[in-house]
Amino acid sequence: MKKSLILTIIAVVAISIFMVGREYINLQYIIANYEHINQFINDNQKMAYTIFFVVYALLVAFSLPLASVLTIGSGIFFEPWTALVLVVTSATFGAGILYWVVEHIITQKQRQFIDGVLQKMKGEMDKNMLSYLFFLRLTPVFPFWAVNLALAIYPVPFRLYFITTLLGIIPGTYIFITTTSLLRDVLISAENPSVPTLSTGDFWELIALGGFALLPIILKKIKNWSKKS
C-alpha cells in the first residue's frame, strides 16, 4: 500500500475521531452526564478502565487535542492513583503507536532531508539525549502531542522514547489529576465548569524538575569551560 494512501486513511480516521469525540469528550458534557457516567463506571469497572485506556491511547496516537479532557475526567471519576496509572500507561502506549506509524511512513528521502536540517543540533542532542528527553517530558511548556511527533521524526531510539515518556509524564500528570480530584465537587456543581490549570507553584516546580534533568549537561559544560580557562 502506498504511503500517500496510508497518510490519507490516517487523516480521515483522525478527523472522524475528532469530529465525533469533541461532541462527547468535553468538560461540559462530562459534568452534565456525571451521574450516568459515574453509575456506568461503578457497574462496569473493568470495562470502563478498558474503554478509557483504548480511547486515550487513540487520541494520543492521532495527536488529537482531546486527551487532556480525559485526564480531567479521570481525576473526576477515578481514584487518583488509579487515574494516574491509566493516564500514564495509555498515553505512553499511544505515543508508542505514533512513533511506530511515523517510523514506517517517513521515506528515505524525507529522513535524509530531516537529518540535513537537524545536523547542527544532532551532535549535542545525541550526546545528552536522556537529559534532553526528560527535560521535554517533565516541563509543561511543550504540548505532549508536539513532543511525541518531534521525537518520533528526529528520531529518538524507541527504548529511550518509551522510558522517558513513561517516567517523565508522571509528575505533571499526578499534579493535574490530584488538582482535579480536589476540585471534583466544585466542577460538578458549577454551571459553566472551566478546565483546571496548573497553579503557578506547580508550574515552576515542574520547570525546576526539568532543569534538574539538564543538570548533568550543565555540569559537563562548566567542567569543559574550566579546563579551557
Q: How many structural domains is the chain composed of? A: 1
Long-range pairs of 222-228 with CB within 8 A, sequence gap ≥ 24 = none
pLDDT at 219 over 60: yes
Higher model confidence: residue 155 or residue 76?
76
Residue range 31-50: average pLDDT? Answer: 92
Share of the chain above pLDDT 90, in %: 29
Residue 150, domain extent: 3-228
Q: Is 78 helix (H, G, I), strand (E, B) or coil?
A: coil
Q: Is residue 170 within 8 Å of 88, Cβ to Cβ? A: yes
Q: Which three cell numbers stand for residue 212?
A: 534538574
pLDDT digits (tens, 9 = 90+) for 151-189: 888 878 999 999 999 999 999 899 889 888 877 776 766
**Could you tell me the pLDDT band of residue 19, with boundaries at 50, 70 and 90?**
confident
Q: Is residue 215 within 8 Å of 198, Cβ to Cβ? A: no
Q: Which three cell numbers stand for residue 65?
A: 487535542
Contacts of 215 (CB under 8 A, 6+ apart): 131
Q: Which three cell numbers stand for residue 167?
A: 517516567
Q: For the chain, what is the mean pLDDT?
A: 82
Least confident of 28-42, 66-80, 97-111: 97-111
Higher model confidence: residue 21 or residue 99?
99
Least confident of 2-16, 132-146, 151-165, 166-180: 2-16
Q: Is residue 84 within 8 Å of 170, Cβ to Cβ? A: yes
98 dihedral zone (left: phi>0; alpha: psi -120 to 50; beta)? alpha
pLDDT at 114 over 70: no
Q: Is 43 helix (H, G, I), strand (E, B) or coil?
A: helix
- In this prediction, residue 156 carries a pLDDT of 86
Residue range 61-79: average pLDDT? Answer: 88
Q: Which three cell numbers stand for residue 41?
A: 463506571
